[in-house]
């Protein structure tokens, strides 16, 4: 078997196909098909075309008997409970079930999910704590001495995307449970999918595939807070995109401009360039403001708030600083209610 591998991406009608032109392992993901966009709560279909090759250490046989599939997905999708997987081929068919949490991979002695995280990480997603590898194992063993080889088949994945407006990169793994992952990784295969954008859900859109936000530009303290807390917001005008300063570096006045989206869909904006929204200069391009959201938005209760976005402006509103990692306003997420 050739040790070289080349992948060619093809985009057709919003779906990405990746095709392997050269194969190398006993289990190969030849190609996969995955949507690039979906609506929150939608059930999407993903297809992995696979090939099972001869075990080179045992000619005429296939290693192991129990296929396993790993699926890298956002934790908010709860993929273990919301995903259905099956394998189909001319000589072997089986449904798959989620593996018991903490199920051990045979070679390294660690849980399968932890093993894949250590080996492959979480792709381009900048926050691995928001992603998880969910493992599935076949319900029916395959014949390790099949009538012919190679075996060509399809892994069909149907999963319900989560409720949040996010963009994240998915990932796929195929191997077998009996022997785990060999030292040379020749009895398994792994592919990262394209980033998929979820819209129509809740919250400000977050692109985990994009550059990680620079929290130094705007910092909220305490870092664990509710919308009812008294919050200090620190703005560092010297931290901008590409290691440059922001448009408010050296400004004489800086103001806090914010929008609160309420649970009933109403939006309240505050950007009046008054003492109420003025930041205090503390030196070296650093500004601070302390706000009580109930007061600044003139609300009877902060329980009405579902989301807050904000930016910083000069007195004329001609220079505005937003989150340079997204190009959008900064977002404020309550960590407790």
Using the predicted structure, report yes or no on whether residue 20 has a pLDDT greater than 70: no
pLDDT at 322: 92
pLDDT at 337: 53
179-185 contacts: CB < 8 A, separation 24 or more?
179/63, 179/64, 179/106, 179/107, 180/105, 180/106, 180/107, 180/108, 181/105, 181/107, 181/108, 181/115, 181/119, 182/107, 183/107, 185/25
Instruction: Find the range with the poorest average confidence among 134-138, 221-225, 229-233.
Output: 221-225
Compute the average pLDDT of residues 231-239: 94
pLDDT at 99: 96
pLDDT at 89: 93
Q: Which pLDDT tens digit goes with each residue over 120-151?
A: 999 999 889 999 999 999 999 988 777 777 88
**SS3 label, residue 277:** coil
Compute the average pLDDT of residues 169-175: 95
pLDDT at 336: 58
Tell me whether residue 186 is in a domain.
yes
Q: Which pLDDT tens digit goes with each residue over 245-297?
A: 999 999 999 999 999 988 888 999 999 999 999 999 999 999 999 999 999 99
Instruction: Find the range with the poorest average confidence among 67-76, 102-111, 184-193.
Output: 184-193
Q: Residue 150: is the preceding peptide bond cis (ω within 30°)? A: yes
Task: Name which of 275, 336, 279 is nearest 312 in CA terms.
Answer: 279
Same domain, 165 and 223: no
**SS3 label, residue 186:** coil
pLDDT at 59: 74
pLDDT at 185: 52
Could you give the maximum distance between any two Cα atoms of the chain, in Å? 81
**SS3 label, residue 167:** strand
Same domain, 114 and 169: yes
Tell me whether residue 140 is in a domain.
yes
Using the predicted structure, report yes or no on whether residue 1 has a pLDDT greater than 50: no
Instruction: Find the range with the poorest average confidence among 46-50, 66-70, 172-176, 242-246.
Output: 242-246
Same domain, 183 and 37: yes
Same domain, 165 and 248: no
Same domain, 46 and 192: yes
In terms of average pLDDT, the best of 23-32, 81-90, 297-306 is 81-90
Q: Name 202's bridge partners.
A: 164
Q: Please answer whether residues 84 and 158 qualify as being in contact, where contact means their C-beta atoms are separated by less than 8 angstroms.
A: yes
pLDDT at 172: 97
Compute the average pLDDT of residues 165-174: 95
Using the predicted structure, report yes or no on whether residue 204 has a pLDDT greater than 90: no
pLDDT at 182: 65
Same domain, 175 and 126: yes
Same domain, 238 and 173: no
* Mean pLDDT (the chain, rounded): 85
CATH for 244: 2.60.40
pLDDT at 184: 55
pLDDT at 245: 92
Supply the DSSP symbol for 241. G
pLDDT at 23: 35
Same domain, 182 and 314: no
pLDDT at 236: 95
Residue with tokens 């009933």: 264
Domain range for 176 is 7-202
Number of domains in the chain: 2
Task: Name which of 85, 134, 136 is nearest 114 in CA terms.
Answer: 134
Structure-model confidence comparison of residues 218 and 79, the more confident one: 79
pLDDT at 181: 81
Q: What percent of the chain is predicted at pLDDT more than 70? A: 87
Same domain, 318 and 227: yes
Tell me whether residue 212 is in a domain.
no
Same domain, 39 and 159: yes
pLDDT at 21: 33
pLDDT at 335: 61
């Amino acid at each position: 078997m050739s040790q070289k591998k080349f992948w060619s991406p093809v985009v057709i009608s919003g779906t990405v196909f990746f095709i392997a032109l050269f194969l190398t392992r006993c289990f190969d993901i030849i190609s996969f098909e995955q949507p690039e966009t979906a609506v929150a709560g939608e059930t999407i279909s993903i297809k992995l075309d696979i090939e099972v090759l001869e075990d080179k250490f045992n000619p005429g046989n296939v290693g192991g008997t129990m296929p396993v599939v790993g699926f890298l997905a956002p934790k908010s999708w709860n993929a273990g409970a919301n995903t259905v997987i099956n394998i189909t081929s001319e000589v072997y068919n089986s449904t798959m079930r989620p593996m018991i949490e903490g199920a051990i991979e045979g070679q390294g002695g660690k849980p399968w999910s932890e093993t894949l995280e250590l080996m492959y990480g979480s792709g381009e997603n900048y926050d691995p704590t928001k992603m998880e590898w969910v493992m599935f194992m076949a319900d029916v063993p395959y014949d390790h001495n099949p009538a012919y080889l190679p075996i060509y088949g399809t892994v069909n994945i149907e999963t319900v995307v989560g409720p949040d407006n996010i963009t994240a990169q998915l990932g796929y793994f195929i191997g077998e449970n009996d022997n785990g992952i060999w030292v040379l990784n020749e009895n398994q295969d792994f592919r990262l999918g394209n980033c998929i954008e979820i819209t129509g859900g809740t919250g400000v859109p977050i692109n985990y595939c994009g550059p990680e936000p620079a929290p130094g530009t705007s910092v909220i303290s305490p870092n664990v807070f509710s919308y009812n807390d008294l919050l200090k917001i620190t703005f560092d005008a010297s931290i901008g995109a590409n290691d440059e300063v922001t448009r408010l570096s050296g400004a004489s006045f800086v103001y806090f401009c914010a929008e609160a989206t309420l649970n009933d869909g109403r939006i309240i904006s505050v950007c009046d360039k008054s003492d109420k929204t003025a930041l205090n200069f503390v030196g070296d391009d650093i500004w601070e403001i302390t706000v009580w959201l109930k007061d600044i938005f003139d609300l009877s209760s902060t329980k009405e708030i579902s989301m807050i976005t904000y930016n910083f402006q000069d007195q004329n509103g001609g220079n505005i600083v937003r989150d340079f990692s997204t190009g959008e306003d900064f977002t404020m997420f309550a960590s407790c209610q």
